Amino acid sequence: MQLRHDIGTFTKQTVGITSQVIQSIRILQFSANELEDFLRDQAERNPLMELVSPQVETARPLNTAADASLRERTPEARTRDASSPRSVDRDPGKAGVGRSGSASGSSQTDDNGIERYLAASVSLREHLLHQAAMAFDAGTEAMIAAELIEALDPTGYLGQSVKSIARRLGTEEERVEAVLKRVQGFEPTGVGARGLAECLELQLREKNRFDPAMATLVENLPLLAKYDLKKLARLCGVSLEDLNEMAAEIRDLDPRPGLKFDTAPTPPALPDVLVHRTEGGGYKVELNSELLPRVLVNRQYHAEITAGKLNAKDKRFVADCMKNATWLARNVDQRARTVLNVATEIVAQQDEFLKHGVEHLKPLNLSDVAETVGVHVSTVCRAISNKHLMTDRGLFDMRFFFANSIGSVDGADDVSSETVRHKIAALVNAETVNSVLSDEAIVNALREDGVDIARRTVAKYRDIMNIPSSLQRRRQKKAEALV
């Protein structure tokens, strides 16, 4: 066999992923809030891009006076502007307000906002440090108290051991323990505890209710969680009626006292797609325009810039800005179309659920929707990520509609796992003291209803829904009957 080098030409097909495609993929899986933050950041970087928020119907004005030369828009100039008064006046959090200093400046000096009339929120750390400043004189104990407060987790529990804190501060454990006892006397009661039992003990002591029987109950909280009331009553030396009263006192306590000072707001889930029932019995699916900012390419400003004399570096900068703004506008529009198409198909597949409720939720997987819409499965996965659908039945995460199928009996249609969980919950809610169902009994009841499911699957679904075992449920119902 002869080996030799040969030069020739041939053609082949390859898939290339450009930066624009990567941007399109990222934008598709963004939530509404993440998309708006991303677009605002891009608008700050690109002078040819205008972002029109739905709340502001007019685009931000052109800053022609401040841009007599292109140098004002080059990266070097923008770096200089970062510390200039003109840049400080800008308010990126104001939708639709652009490079006009007067527009953003007025918003910062406006004293008529509701914030003037709201009390400033105080964090748990600030609240405790304020009490420590009054409880301890400046010195070693004040420093130990501050270190203990810094070691608290958001629930108010001490997240580190006294031994490790003492070693870090170079002092005795007994001294840290003594300071901790004083910190545990701060408001809210229960803060600084090293576990649930100690947290409840602190609150019961404040109420002067920590007697020997209650102390035994706090030491055996796992038995209370299992509703093993007979054993608890025997350990505590009280009757079942007294034990129920003691358990009611425990339930009235706060197991996480620090959370009432958690001021970090949880952003609300907003609907990306709205579904309306039509008079003919169908459904109208539309995007929520109040969440969709518009991306505009400022071609007029681009024409003004390119009409002047530009060097090679400036021409390249302007060309890149124009290309990026155009691609971003296209990708945002493509995202909207994809989300709408996927949502429309979901509504078409789950119309029985929308009409009759969760028992009629159909099994649905990503490939079903992808095939109908004409996109890849991964595209559907990104399109439903962090997106919500508002229907007559409420607000749903779009992933809710993709449920696994459960086999049925007698050749009936398969049902979704969500429907099965709903049926299990309904059976449990209908139980009485004398009719608590075991997992095997639930299996038989579901089979009579046309659902073929294994006992271990029932146990798994119970765990998902935080439904205790039949033994615990029977104990709980007997305890409730005594109240």
- pLDDT, tens digit (0-9, with 9 covering 90-100), for 79-125: 333 333 333 333 333 333 333 333 333 444 444 454 444 455 788 88
Residue 358 token pair = 């969760």
The confidence score (pLDDT) of residue 15 equals: 60
The confidence score (pLDDT) of residue 411 equals: 52
Cα distances from 248 to residues 241, 244, 308, 322, 483, in angstroms, run: 11, 6, 80, 67, 10
**Angle at 287 (CA atoms; ends 283, 288), nearest 5 degrees:** 110
Distance of CA 364 to the CA centre of its chain: 24
Which residues have CB under 8 Å from 337's CB, separation 6+?
A: none
CA distance 219 to 196: 10
Q: Do domains 124-261 and 405-482 have the same CATH topology?
A: yes
The confidence score (pLDDT) of residue 69 equals: 36
Domain extents for the chain?
16-82+92-99+270-400, 124-261, 405-482
For 124-261, CATH number?
Answer: 1.10.10.1330
- Residue 286 has φ and ψ, to the nearest 5°, of -145, 155
CATH number for the 405-482 domain, one of 1.20.272, 1.10.10, 1.10.540, 1.10.443?
Answer: 1.10.10
Which residues have CB under 8 Å from 340's CB, separation 6+?
A: 273, 285, 286, 287
Whether 474 shows a pLDDT value over 70: the answer reads: yes
Whether 41 shows a pLDDT value over 80: the answer reads: yes
Give me the mean pLDDT over the 27-34 stretch. 89
pLDDT band at 62 (very low <50, low <70, confident <90, very high): very low
pLDDT tens per residue across span 128-148: 999 998 888 877 888 899 999
pTM of the model: 0.59
pLDDT tens per residue across span 392-422: 888 888 988 887 666 655 555 567 777 888 8
Whether 197 shows a pLDDT value over 60: the answer reads: yes
Overall size of the chain counted in residues: 483
Whether 70 shows a pLDDT value over 90: the answer reads: no
CA distance 476 to 251: 14
The confidence score (pLDDT) of residue 100 equals: 35
